[in-house]
Every structure is written in C-alpha cells, then in structure tokens.
Amino acid sequence: MAIGYGKINNVMVRTYASLLQIELPNIRSAGAMSLDIGEDRILLDTRSKVYYMDIYLPYNLVQPECGAQFDKRTKILTVTMPVQPKASV
C-alpha cells in the first residue's frame, strides 16, 4: 500500500501505510545490513558497502510501528511503514 490522496466517486480516499520492497541480490542475511527508519527518512547501508540508500519521504512515519523483514530466499527486504495521520485543522 502506498500513501495517496484522491477521490473515487466523490469519496475522499487515503491510505495509511507504505510498503517498500528492495532487492538485494548480493546480501546473504539481515545481519549484513543496517536499516534506520526516521520520522521522514529511510537509510539503508550494508557492511560490504555494495548497497546504500538514503530516501526522504514527503510524509511522516509512525516509527515505533515500522518493521522490516529480509527474505534470504528471494533476497528482498520488505519494509512496512505506517504513515502519521495529518493533524486536523
């Protein structure tokens, strides 16, 4: 699910989480990488320095509820990031 705002049949629609999947074919285990999830930033680095990613997001995350899982078979890191609701005006 990705964050999005829009109208479908005049109903306001908003998603509440983002899902990021990163292919890391040269990584054998989760211990070989470092993932930091900030309020509006994701930083991924590997011990071997083969991969590096630093992304700023256009929205804030609920950090305590974010999670990540690395699948050794597919070599895909899946990061789930709930999005902070916008403050009511």
Q: What is the pLDDT along the chain (89 residues), one digit of tens a residue?
A: 444 444 444 454 455 778 899 999 999 999 999 999 999 999 999 999 999 999 998 888 999 999 999 999 999 999 999 988 776 55
DSSP H/E element including 82: strand 76-82
Q: How far is residue 24's CA from residue 9's CA, in Å, rounded to a whole number?
A: 40
Give the per-residue pLDDT at 3: 41
Give the per-residue pLDDT at 4: 44
> Could you say which architecture CATH assigns to the domain 5-82?
Sandwich (2.60)
CA–CA distances in Å: residue 58 to residues 21, 71, 83, 84: 18, 27, 10, 11
Q: How far is residue 35's CA from residue 77's CA, in Å, rounded to a whole number?
A: 10
Q: How far is residue 70's CA from residue 85's CA, in Å, rounded to a whole number?
A: 27
